[in-house]
Amino acid sequence: MKWKVISDRVAVATRGDGQVVDVTRQVAEKVAESGLRDGQALVFVSGSTAGLTTVEYEPGLCRDLPEMFERIAPRGHRYYHEETWHDGNGHSHVQASLLGPSLTVPVERGRLLLGTWQQIVLVDFDARPRRRELVVQLTGFAGEDSA
């Protein structure tokens, strides 16, 4: 087997305001296209007002997650960031920093090792629609198992 490092991109259009977007299929497709057999998939969102995590992607959690972040860092609170840029998204930066911009998922036999009810999601906290770019960096072994 051969060690590989592959970097690719996935574009995602969002409406912002805490929208939760399931990106599992797109990441799994990148793994399948790469020929990676065993290793890791690192997913990273460029930008400081979005984050990545895993959840059970269902309507209740898609409401619960943004509401929880709104309780922790509410819109309408005073954020010093807005005194610098006057863009109304100080809460977006704080919320995204709590979640983080990246996620690593193990890959085994060419498949993401996610649980049955576990999906990779992008949460866009910005105060406006955005076009997000996800970097998917795959590292590991490719090719047939020699054992």
Rounded CA separation 138/80 (Å):
37
Task: Kindly report the pTM of this predicted structure.
Answer: 0.94
With beta carbons less than 8 A apart as the criterion, state whether 82 and 88 touch.
yes
**Whether residue 49 has pLDDT greater than 90:** yes
Question: What is the per-residue pLDDT across 60-118, written as a single tens digit (0 to 9) for each?
Answer: 999 999 999 999 999 999 999 999 989 999 999 999 999 999 999 999 999 999 999 99
Rounded CA separation 104/58 (Å):
21
- Model pLDDT, residue 145: 59
Domains and their CATH numbers in the chain: 2-140 (2.60.120.460)
Question: What is the per-residue pLDDT across 54-64, written as a single tens digit (0 to 9) for each?
Answer: 999 999 999 99
**pLDDT bucket at 146, cuts 50 / 70 / 90:** very low
- Residue 68 makes CB contacts below 8 A (sequence gap 6+) with none
SS3 139: strand
With beta carbons less than 8 A apart as the criterion, state whether 134 and 9 touch.
yes
**Whether residue 7 has pLDDT greater than 80:** yes
Nearest partner of 43 among 106, 95, 92, 105, judged by Cα: 105
